[in-house]
Chains A and B, each alone.
Chain A
């Protein structure tokens, strides 16, 4: 890294942390070195479990000890000419730095603000704690800062509770809370991961601007290389507790030296769908035809003296066709109605109006009994492989269930079919008696995909199938999906918030906004020349390597 160490706010040397578990001790952080100066942004990048968060939290005494043990290391924090080793400071001393000279921003603004206290109360706390402000002084400062981070009508919003803000606004509050004591070091742990892409772009801009104005040292922890590319001066890549490569952002992205960095960069979804992969036949008739579909959620009930609250129109007059052997991308931000649309198509939610036709057969009027044979032809893959697999069913049970239920196999001949499915999705035969918790996230998603293709369906609705996965695993699962679509002649509605992912896999794309499909077209045409201003802003917000 850089040679100049005189200006460093924080320099960490030889930090090793292990966690005591039942089976002994496991090393979470292994001989990590890094340093950061004022006005600099250092990104620590790694996949889940790489130790990037533990590294930072351990410096601040925020990991529980036990089970955590700091085995070695020095963490020199320099503030106003005073140096101290964070790892050898007592709790009292650390506390006087935390939320004062060192501040943190966390990933999920939904859960990181106390739902029981007003945001004003939470904002002024650090000032009252560390700077001896009176509540009145602290309040004035907090309102100024809320305005600075872009909260309109800050004075009135001061007494609002977190649930009255949107995700992006909450993250702004979180940033204001971190900056209120004018810290010298700001640690942001995946600050934009839970946000929509347009909001993410705004928050990144804001963080960068505030950092520059205040000359703060910013440590930016992220799993997302493309986010890091736009904000970091230097990058440290972590894997299995070690920093495998570190250097200037440009250098890491243009000339990665370590094999893992190269693999990470190669896994970032970019570019168009590979040309040799399955191509739909545009002349073929539509397999699935959706006409004027509308799904409305009623809210609450009419009261004795009050009318029923206005219903939410989740999907509003949507029509599209899914052709044979096609992957149709459906993109939109959270709340745009894309998941509801997927579920309405497959009749998990009864649509309020409109038609859904599979091979010419109308589905919306059928009873659940009449739907059963058709369910075999349409399957769904969900986002979270942790939640969508029954924890008490083995791989065998999970994969055999649809085969038995739809009478595709009998108890006697089901095993070879299950094994064939496991081959198909790339699971080792030895795993057949294992339970979901014994698998990694990627393997679990393979099980979920295996369950979906068990009945040899023609249509698969995949709702954010790779969003919960690390980038290298995501690349593998996307490859698997492409291969399966090819091999089994599938048609797929691929729902995702991630535009780069959709671009690498979809033939055509629907863009959804506030319940309506506002733009559609061939993926590459749409990327090259988006017509609607919403699509333009969506594409502009996508971070690039």
Chain B
């Protein structure tokens, strides 16, 4: 298993390198630069700025020195916010984004998996159609529509929950997490329904029933493990998506997260900030995919032996 993890980490290095390289040259290909503004900056000032951030050097030199900094864990200074480093800004935004992502993930798993399992127990009945059509709705409704809708219903009409803020009033984290979770909840519901339907038709489920076990035990003990495997595989990419896709929700609910910095940086041609967040997100995506694979292997005894080298 350790070998498997080690190999996967090794594979991650070239992937990251490609991400860094492509992003580095692409952002510089885009018209404009960090210091171009509507009001033209005097040429000597521009020159001084460019010299300060080494933008007057050949691009290849810039690239190599960036790689060198990166290897030391330094994302460099922000071009747009003088005096602040990208590391500081990430450190300021990441906690809120991570927390939001984690909550959303919990909601998505809890609601999505239960809805999927419930639907799978009685396929093609009301018990199936109602959660599944709700799930379809969740996939179709974008978060910029769902967010304001939640605010209106739960915040303004019902007055149950606060409509903005982050950690200021109790309960203000629920609506953004729910909004962010909606699409993933729906997708997980569909995955778990498919997985459970598949598993519940297996012969070993009939064996479990033939033992006279109560139905809930058949489902939870014998069915759930196999049925959740497609969901586990999806958690990795889903979590990465939750983190990097939180921009809309962060904007709607006024959350001081990383997503907002990311999008602003792109508009501002804040080269180092774009690079920093991209590298960070890429790393997270690789990490969570690896984590999901490890869990999938751990859940499946046959694969577990394969990686232990016992053979099957």
Partners in one complex: yes
With A112-B206, A163-B301 in contact, do A126 and B211 touch (Cβ < 8 Å)?
yes
Contact with A along B1-26 (1 / 0, CB 8 A): 00100010000000000000000000
Give the contacting residue for B204; candidates A112, A129, A303, A306; CB below 8 A.
Answer: A112
Residue of B at shortest CB range from A108? B203
Q: Is B206 a contact partner of A62 (Cβ separation < 8 A)?
A: yes
B299 contact set on A, CB distance < 8 A? 116
- In the complex, are the beta carbons of B226 and A116 less than 8 A apart? yes
Chain A residues, Cβ within 8 Å of B207: 104, 106, 112-114, 174, 177
In angstroms, Cα B222 to Cα A130, docked, is 18
Indicate if the CB atoms of B212 and A99 lie closer than 8 Å: yes
Residue total for B at the interface (Cβ-Cβ under 8 A) = 26
Please determine whether B213 and A163 come into contact, CB atoms closer than 8 angstroms. no
Are A129 and B202 neighbours in the complex by a CB distance under 8 Å?
A: no
Q: Which of A260-282 contact B (CB under 8 A)?
A: none
> Which residues of A come within 8 Å of B, CB atoms?
60, 62, 94-100, 103-104, 106, 108, 111-118, 125-126, 129-130, 161, 163-164, 174, 177, 303-306, 309
A106 surroundings in chain B (CB, below 8 A):
203, 206-207, 210
Residue B47 is within 8 A (CB to CB) of chain A in the complex: no
What are 8 contact pairs spanning A and B, CB under 8 A? A94-B212, A99-B212, A99-B213, A103-B210, A106-B210, A117-B225, A163-B301, A305-B3
For A99, what are the chain B residues with a Cβ–Cβ distance below 8 Å?
210-213
Complex: how many Å from CA A250 to CA B312? 44
Q: Mark B213-243, 1 if CB is under 8 A from A, else 0.
A: 1100000011001100000000000000000
How far does the Cβ of A424 sit from chain B's closest Cβ, in whole Å?
A: 39
| Nearest neighbor of B222 in chain A, beta-carbon distance | A114
On whether the beta carbons of A161 and B203 are closer than 8 Å, the reply is no
Q: Which residues of B contact A114 (CB under 8 A)?
A: 204, 207-208, 222
B-to-A contact residues, CB < 8 Å: 3, 7, 202-204, 206-214, 221-222, 225-226, 299-302, 305, 309, 311-312
Establish whether residues A163 and B3, one from each chain, have CB atoms under 8 Å apart when the complex forms.
no
Within 8 Å by CB of B212, from A96, A118, A177, A304, lies A96
Chain B contact residues, majority secondary structure? helix
Q: Nearest Cβ in chain B — how far from A160, in angstroms?
A: 9
A98, A116, A130 interface centre (most CB from chain B within 10 Å)? A116
Residue in A62, A104, A125, A305 with the greatest tally of chain B CB atoms within 10 Å = A125
Chain B residues, CB < 8 A from A113? 204, 207
Q: Which of A62, A116, A129 contacts B300 (CB 8 A)?
A: A116
Q: Is the CB of A111 within 8 A of B311?
A: no
Q: Is the CB of B301 within 8 A of A97?
A: no
Closest to B214 in A: A95
Tell me the smallest distance from the CB of A181 to a CB of chain B, in Å. Answer: 9
Q: Tell whether, in the assembled complex, residue A112 and residue B203 are in contact, meaning their CB atoms are under 8 Å apart.
A: yes
CA distance A169 to B213 in the complex (A): 24
Known: A112-B206, A114-B204, A117-B222. A303 touches B3 (CB 8 A): yes
- 8 Å CB contact of B210 from A62, A108, A111: A62
Rank and list the top 9 A-B pairs by shortest CB-CB distance, nearest first.
Answer: A99-B211, A98-B212, A99-B212, A161-B301, A111-B203, A104-B210, A114-B204, A116-B225, A95-B212
The answer to whether A309 touches B212, judged by C-beta atoms less than 8 angstroms apart, is: no
Residues of chain A with a CB closer than 8 A to B211's CB: 98-99, 125-126, 129, 177
Q: Which residues of B contact A98 (CB under 8 A)?
A: 209-212
Q: Which among B213, B225, B311 is the interface contact of A125 at CB below 8 angstroms?
A: B213
Q: Which residues of A contact B202 (CB under 8 A)?
A: 111
Q: A116-B225, A116-B300, A161-B301 are in contact. Are A304 and B206 (CB under 8 A)?
A: no
Known: A97-B212, A100-B212. A163 touches B222 (CB 8 A): no
Question: Which residue in chain B gives the minimum CB-CB distance to A91?
Answer: B215
Which residue of chain A has the shortest Cβ distance to B226 in the bound complex?
A116
A98-B212, A130-B212 known; A161 vs B206 contact (CB < 8 Å): no
Contact call A115/B213, Cβ cutoff below 8 A = no
Bound-state Cα–Cα, A50 to B113, Å: 40
Given contacts A108-B203, A114-B204, contact A304 B7 (CB under 8 A): yes
Q: Which residues of A contact B301 (CB under 8 A)?
A: 115-116, 118, 161, 163
Task: Give the residue name and chain of the A residue nearest to B301 (CB).
Answer: A161
The CA-CA distance from A202 to B305 in the complex, in Å, is 29
Tell me which of A97, A99, A114 has the highest count of chain B C-beta atoms within 10 A of its own C-beta: A114
Decide: A115 and B206 in contact? CB cutoff 8 A.
no
In whole angstroms, how far apart are the Cα atoms of A158 and B309 in the complex? 21
Assembled-state Cα–Cα distance A122/B204 (Å): 10
A197 and B28 CA atoms in complex are apart in Å by 71
Give min CB distance, B211 to chain A, whole Å. Answer: 3
Q: How far is the CA of A163 from the CA of B309 in the complex (A)?
A: 14
Shortest beta-carbon distance from A97 to chain B in Å: 7
